[in-house]
Amino acid sequence: MNEDNKNTVLIVDDEPNNITALTEILEKDYDVFAVVDSTEAVETAEDVVPSVILLDIIMPDMDGYEVISMLKGSEKTRDIPVIFITGLDSAEAEERALALGAADYISKPFHAPIVKLRVKNQISIQERYEIERDLNTVLKLQSDLVAATELAEKNKETAEHADRAKSEFLSRMSHEMRTPLNAIMGMTQIIKTRGLPKNLTEYAVQIDNASSHLLGLIEDVLDMSSMEFGAFKLTESKFDFEKVIERVLQKVKYNANEKKQILSTHIEPSLYTTYLGDEKHLQRVIGSLLGNAVKFTPEKGEIGFYASIHEDENNEMTLQVTVSDNGIGISEEEKSKLFDLFEQADGSETREQSGIGIGLALSKRIANMMGGDIWVDTELGKGSKFHFTCILRKV
């Protein structure tokens, strides 16, 4: 079909009068092309790709039977309907034409309405065929899409089942590990109160710190697993901010003293009151930031802890905590992935510091859930400042 959306007809006849007659019949409804040479007919058909070909049987050099054989043998023209036009009044000629793939047969002399109807019928048949072909293509694509969707659903169910199994395993393991750890920590607390010699007391403190650290890792893994399934929830309760900081600093100071580090704290006095929020996870986040500062700051280094509170008109309080250190700092490349799960600032096999790379990632997610955020200002070799904000409510 041409650019004007008119179908095209190619007339192949060695008699100019026949071409003139057929052109006059068809030119109002179709774009008409005509050739008198059978060889030229094949070339024109491949070039124009008409909607219908009207082909004379008796022609010099190459007759219509040979022409249609060549047309049906070409991938470009094999589907074009061919209507034979001839003065032969012979059933054998018509039979041979149809056997070679002719779509219809018109006898001379031409009767205009018959010619128009036969051409129109072939174009309609061709259009229906194209619609059916397109429909079959769409149905095939739809079938493929349904199959792909079913496969995706099946794979999703398999993945969800595997994730549930993983989560259940982690939950059971966490429970099994926490039970003996709590017993160890409880016994250690009892031992520390029995007036042991100094060296034994230090051993008890080390056991207590190591147990607390391991318990923290177990809690991190369990919380991260809960987050992956959307089951993680914050628990709001009343708490005393001063006691939260005391518990955190009690654990951090021992490790800082071991490395002869200077730990200075600057807490806004207005913070020493009762708030409503998730006490447990607030303590976890602050403890994680201070623990990292101690871990990545060299011996005799300096660590600073700063906390302030800002109140808005809705009685919501924004807690802002900054933990600074003069430790190893972080490069721009490592900073970009610092809060990614299972990533650490130093991922080399020879790194000195331990950890499984979920502390900061988990802390950032918790901070976001608490209406705040965590970010860092740092420069390699010049230390870091980690900032943490969250929303609290004053009781």
What pLDDT does residue 351 have? 38
Split at pLDDT 50, 70, 90, the class of 352 is very low
Question: How large is the average pLDDT for residues 374-384?
Answer: 90
Q: How far apart are CA 216 and CA 213, in angstroms?
A: 5
Q: Which tokens go with 367?
A: 């901070």
What pLDDT does residue 231 have? 67
Rg (CA), the chain: 43
Q: Which helix (H) or strand (E) holds 206?
A: helix 198-228
Q: Which CATH number is 233-394 given?
A: 3.30.565.10
What pLDDT does residue 174 have? 67
What does the DSSP 8-state code read for residue 317? E
- DSSP secondary structure of 20-42: HHHHHHHTTTSEEEEES-HHHHH
CA distances, 251 to each of 180, 211, 244, 286, 302 (Å)? 20, 11, 11, 12, 17
Whether 67 and 46 have beta carbons less than 8 Å apart is answered as: no
Helix-strand-coil split of the chain, %, nearest 5: 50, 20, 30
Question: How large is the average pLDDT for residues 27-48?
Answer: 90
Whether 339 and 366 have beta carbons less than 8 Å apart is answered as: no
Report whether pLDDT(220) > 80: no
Residue tagged 């986040």 (tokens): 285
Which own/partner pairs from 336-345 qualify as long-range (CB within 8 Å, at least 24 positions apart)? 338/376, 339/364, 339/374, 341/224, 345/296
CATH topology of domain 8-110: Rossmann fold (3.40.50)
Question: How large is the average pLDDT for residues 187-211?
Answer: 75
Task: Please give the backbone phi and psi of residue 171, each rounded to the nearest 5 degrees, phi first.
Answer: -65, -45
**pTM for the predicted model, two decimal places:** 0.53
Residue ranges covered by each domain of the chain: 8-110, 233-394
Task: Please give the backbone phi and psi of residue 336, each rounded to the nearest 5 degrees, phi first.
Answer: -65, -25
Question: How large is the average pLDDT for residues 78-106?
Answer: 86
